[in-house]
Amino acid sequence: MSEPTYSAPALEKGIEILEFLAGRSGPLSIGEICAGVGRSKAEIYRMILTLEGKGYLRRDIAGRYTMTSRLFDFGMLYPPRQSLIETALPHMRALARDSEQSCHMTVLSREHIVAIARAESESMTAFGVKVGFRAPAATATSGRMIFGFLPLRDQLNWYHTMRGRIDRPVLRAFLDEAREAKRRGYLVRDSAYTLGVVDLAVPIFAARSNHAVAALIVPFMTHVVCHMDKPQVLERLRQTAQAISSELY
């Protein structure tokens, strides 16, 4: 005898709204949200107001909505992730100091990568990424790096989810570069977002496994006076990732 199936329609509406807005970079009107989740204004209007009142959504002066960082803040309190950040930060700060380059750590969140930690260089010209930064995994260097070291089942699930949302040439390039990243153990790639920046990326592994839980990235910039060149920074980056991985439990 199968177990009964239960549903919570109000909760489902709230989750649909948050999932839809999580993939959008700009504010949206209620009408645009309705179209995005496939529901009428009568169905979701009160839920939007509730999410706003609870601090999950923010309304601008034009009456459009964006997500706040509240869910991200909750995610950072999740013990394994907090442990990852606490373990990584001292090593990341040492890397930023020695290389005179900023660095950041990202994790995969469905079809996006999210920056969860960073260490700033004291150099006046270093390029940095803010904690909470989100980008499509299919266009990000760290997305390729993490995907290359995911378990096969997770790779297949991600592929089947994304193949209808990404142009075939983009998806093919992503998969090819992810395989190359796994073969080499690192990835060097021009930034998809900033001219003149070259992303150096390496995986951070779960305890006693070869599966990536995060990527560590240096957005490398060439300085007029620089004590470490790109190959030296890459080697220092790899040493840092190995040290972090060895301390994870």
CATH code for position 138: 3.30.450.40
What does the pLDDT look like over 193-243, one tens digit per residue? 787 889 999 999 987 778 898 999 999 988 766 778 899 999 999 999 999
Number of independent structural domains in the chain: 2
Is the pLDDT assigned to residue 8 strictly greater than 80?
no
| Nearest C-alpha neighbor of 248 from the set 91, 27, 135 | 91
Question: How far from the centroid of its chain's Cα atoms is residue 192's Cα?
Answer: 14
The DSSP result for 77-104, as a single string, is TSHHHHHHHHHHHHHHHHHHHHHSS-EE
Residue 97 included in any domain = yes
Asked if 236 and 118 sit in the same domain, the reply is: yes
Residue 113 included in any domain = yes
Query: How long, in residues, is the chain?
Result: 249
- Mean pLDDT score, 60-74: 76
Q: What's the predicted TM-score (pTM) here?
A: 0.70
Compute the distance between CA of residue 200 and CA of residue 182 in angstroms, rounded to an integer. 14
Is the pLDDT assigned to residue 105 strictly greater than 90?
yes
Is the pLDDT assigned to residue 79 strictly greater than 70?
no
Domain boundary among 52, 68, 84: 68
Is the pLDDT assigned to residue 4 strictly greater than 60?
no
Asked if 63 and 109 sit in the same domain, the reply is: no
Residues 113, 145 contacting (CB under 8 angstroms)? no
Domain, as residue range, for 174: 73-247
What does the pLDDT look like over 167-200, one tens digit per residue? 888 888 899 999 999 999 999 999 887 878 899 9
Domain boundary among 17, 51, 68: 68
Residue with tokens 């070259």: 198
Compute the distance between CA of residue 181 and CA of residue 210 in angstroms, rounded to an integer. 13
Asked if 58 and 147 sit in the same domain, the reply is: no
Is the pLDDT assigned to residue 124 strictly greater than 70?
no
- Residue 1: what pLDDT? 43
